Homo-oligomer: A and B are copies of this chain.
Amino acid sequence: VFVSAGPVPAQGDPLASWNEGPVKKSLTDFVSRVTTVGGPEFVPLAERIAVFDNDGTLWAEQPIYFQLQFAFDRITALAPKHPEWKDTQPFKALIEEDKKAFLAGGEKALLEVMAVSHSGMTTEEFDATVKEWIATAKHPRFGRRYNEMVYQPMLELLAYLRANGFKPFIVSGGGVEFMRAWVEPVYGIPPEQVVGSVGKEKFELRDGRPVLVKLPAVDFVDDGQGKPVGIQKFIGRRPILAFGNSDGDHQMLQWTAAGSGARFMGLVHHTDAEREWAYDRASHIGKLDKALDEATAKEWSVVDMRRDWTRVFPFDK
C-alpha cells in the first residue's frame, strides 16, 4: 500500500462520472490545495480525515432505508419459528403485508421490528445474517442487489481521496454492525473506519467460548447532533471534508466547517427522478431543508445529481 504525500497525477480522469462544473472543480481544487507540499493550505497525511454519510450519500435510500428493508425481511424469514406472530402486531401486519396496519403501529412498531431483527443473537450470527441478505435480496425498483445501489461518482471520489492520502470514514445514522458486514468490499472502507448507531452488547462465556450478545437496547444514535459527538468519540480528530445529503448531516457539516484551514463541505441533492429519485425539503426519508439553506448561504458544495453526475449507479451505461 503506497500512500502519496502529494497530488496524484491524472491517469485518465479519476472522477470520470462527474461532469465538469462547480462541484467537481471545488473537489479537485480542494484536494490540490491540501496536498501541495509547501503550499499555504497543506494538510499532513494524518489529518486528512474525510467523513461520509451513507444512506442517500454513498448508496440510495428509497423507497425505504435499506436497513429497514433488511429488518422486514428478517421478520418474514423468522416467522415460521414464531407461530405466535400470526396474532401479534406489528408482526402480523408484516407477515400479511398489510402496510396500513403496520403504519398504524407508529414508531413503537418500528422499534420493535428493529429490536427483534437486530438483537438476541451473537455479533457473529448477526454478521452472517446481514451478509446473506446483502448477497441475495433485490431492490424492488431496480431489481439489483442492494450493494449495487451505490453511487458510482462517490466510489470514484472515495478512491480519488484515498489516492491522495485521505482516510475516509463512514459516519451514518445506520447501524454500525449492519454496515460493517458489507461496506469493505464495496467502498474499500474497513470496519474500523465505520461510525454508526450502536446497540448495547454483552460479553459472555458460552461453554468457555467468549461471545458478544446483541441486546435490544440502543447505546448511541449517530444522527443530527449525534454525528459530531460520534466523530469525536470514534475518530477523535476533526474532519477536513464532510459529505452528507440531509438535515441529519447538518451538524456534522457545521463541525467540519468550524475547523481551521482548508475545508470541504458537500451535500448530495437528489434531483433526478429518472435515474434515481428527486426529493428534498418535504421528504420523510432524507429530508434536506435547513442544511440546504446553510449550504447555499455559506457556499458549501451542493451536488445536483441530474446536472453533476454522468452516471448514478455502477450498472448505468
Contacts and interface: CB of A to CB of B under 8 A. Distances in A.
Contacts of A203: 225-226, 228-229, 251, 255
Interface residues of A, number: 42
B225 A191 contact: no
Given A203-B229, A234-B192, A210 B258 contact: yes
A28 interface: no
Contacts of A3: 1
9 contacts: A191-B237, A192-B193, A192-B235, A201-B232, A209-B258, A210-B228, A212-B232, A212-B255, A219-B233
A184 B236 CA distance: 12
Contacts of A191: 235-237
Interface string A228-259: 11001111110000000000000100110010
A309 B258 CA distance: 46
A237 B192 contact: yes
Interface in A177-196: 177, 180, 184, 190-194
A123 interface: yes
Nearest to A236: B191
A251 B237 CA distance: 28
A2 interface: yes
A121 interface: no
Nearest to A203: B225
Given A210-B258, A258-B209, A232 B192 contact: no
Contacts of A45: 1
A142 to B, nearest CB: 29
A29 to B, nearest CB: 25
